[in-house]
Chain A
Amino acid sequence: MLVLGLDTSGYANAIGVAEGERVLADSVFETRKASLSQIMLNVDSVLREAKLSLEDIEGFGVGLGPGSWTGIRIGVTVGKMLAYCTGKSIKGISTLEVLAYHARDSRTLICPIVDAGAGGAIYAAFYRSGNNEINQVSEYYVGDIPGLAELIREPTVLVATGAQKYRSALSQLMKSNAIEALESVPSGVSVALLAAARLESGEHDDTLALAPLYLKESTARAFVNKYRRRVQAAP
């Protein structure tokens, strides 16, 4: 199955095409603030590189985040409209799983980390690799590095942009040498490969309903919910 995958959760348009386990194209375009402006041009250039047209694509994969909120909205919207226009199916993949997939040869616990912006906050989760599969073995984590340190009790490989930085912070906090680091950015072809495996087994998302994985509520709503809890807790 010929699948196009894309992830725009960070500072790049990551776009790739895979067929079975064969990589036909895989590019990471540094876009920063030009993600929206460049996305279709980049999709077009990846398809050209693979000598394909949009009609040849049999399914789509999209990185759902977590990551930049505007960034994941661009990727999810482009992905769902591509699937809608071509009538092909789509599967959303957590960007944390995409990063974990890059450490699939590791026998230790795998912990992908994504920067959550202000105040050193991070998104993370734990995965294990085995039987050609990546399995999520924890809930999603949203918090800081010391909080993450408390969750790690065995040798672990961190997968992130800035993984070395996270490794030294965690090693220091845990006074442990059991933490490894793998520098990695989400890749489009990894999204495509992960999505293809699911699409081929008949698993797909409702195209029009597809939504990003924010993991954090918007500030205004968080404020109101906190206020409401406080009011309810009052005697």
Chain B
Amino acid sequence: MLVLGIETSCDETSAALVADGRTLLSNIIANQLDLHSKYGGVVPEIAARRHTELIGYVINEALDAGEKTLRDVEAVAVTAKQGLVGSLVVGAAAAKTLSYALQVPLIGVHHIEGHIFANLLSNPEIPFPHVCLTVSGGHTLLVYIRDYCQYELLGGTVDDAAGEAFDKIAKFLDLGFPGGPIIDRLAAEGNRKAFAFPRPLLKAKTYYFSFSGLKTAVINAFKHQLARDEALPLEDIAASFQEAVVDVLVAKTMRAAKQREVSAVSVTGGVSANRRLREVFTNICNREGIKVYFPALSLCTDNAAMIAAAGHARLMLNQADDLSLDVIPNVPLEVQYAG
């Protein structure tokens, strides 16, 4: 079963071919960073225009790179839920046309379900049930996954997403966009204990996250240094900030893993590319005898391969959509776990 995946929920125009939900044949990602970086974030109208220009080329390139033709495509999966509406519309319009013209099934996928499948695509051996932390510039979610497409939401962020905190700090410090990789690089040179930043909701019994107060604490520390005319150790600020985020993400995920008595943890989404996050998860999981899985780096940020993999799983559960498929910019991951 060859599935063509399409992802245009934010600022990456992507198309991919995945065979049988497991074998990645191609994964073309055209990012628009050059267009958005000067604004310190993604400008929705600019993103939507760029998707419209690129979508055909990216689909064509995915077929070429996978050495397949349109006639080989057996289903089309597209991100239809969660994202910028103007961006989602372009991918969905393309997917619907392909489904109609090629007479193959159409599957609308939730963007976050895509991230969950990015890790299953990289590591098909992840056992069920497991706990999944999916964390990016747009979301931070802790999910209990009983089986394919069966989710129980444990918690999420009450304000900023973790990746968003990285972006905002980097923007404030005038370091560039996106903030994740920049802070990761700077932090590697800094002292993680230089600043005692708060660990929001670390002790709370819930699985909710909050990063807005931490962001303010970092900005205040910076201003304090500036006011006292002291040196600005950007590396130390970055390392201390990153450590606070990592501590909270890891602690809550591990608590969920123990409470739910699972043997494996999956960490996915753009922030799962962070080197310190991977290091701390790996160390703690080794100590606790829990397996931890991360996606290949190319599947951490937004991509269509994960959408194709998720679409394949939905199709196997007979959950295809019809041609009236519409996009929904803001909707929780569908919870299908009952009891």
Contacts and interface: CB of A to CB of B under 8 A. Distances in A.
B45 A219 contact: yes
Interface stretch (A81-89, A121-129, A183-191): A81-89
A108 to B, nearest CB: 36
Interface string A64-89: 00000110011011101110111000
Contact of B323 (A41, A80, A214, A219): A41
B324 A78 contact: no
A221 B36 CA distance: 10
B97 interface: yes
Contacts of A37: 324-326
Nearest to B99: A40
Contacts, number: 99
A44 B98 CA distance: 13
Contact of A40 (B55, B70, B323): B323
Interface string B60-81: 1000000000100000000000
Interface string B82-115: 0001100110111011111110000000000000
Contacts of B96: 36, 39-40, 78
A211 interface: yes
Given A74-B93, A207-B56, A208-B57, A81 B101 contact: yes
B16 interface: no
Contacts of B101: 54, 81-82, 85-86
A118 interface: no
Interface stretch (B46-54, B230-238, B251-259): B46-54
Contacts of B48: 69-70, 73
A94 interface: no
A46 to B, nearest CB: 12
Interface string A13-52: 0000000000000000000001011111101100000000
A81 B97 contact: yes
Nearest to B101: A85
Of A39, A69, A77, A219, most buried by chain B (CB within 10 Å of CB) is A77
A233 interface: no
A220 interface: yes
A69 B96 CA distance: 19
Contact of B45 (A78, A209, A220): A220
Contacts of B100: 40, 43-44, 54
A211 B52 contact: yes
24 contacts: A34-B326, A37-B326, A40-B97, A41-B323, A41-B324, A54-B101, A70-B89, A73-B90, A73-B93, A74-B89, A77-B52, A78-B94, A78-B97, A81-B93, A82-B97, A85-B70, A85-B97, A85-B101, A86-B101, A209-B53, A210-B56, A218-B45, A220-B43, A221-B43
Given A69-B48, A70-B85, 9 more contacts: A36-B92, A36-B96, A73-B51, A81-B94, A86-B101, A207-B56, A210-B56, A220-B39, A221-B43
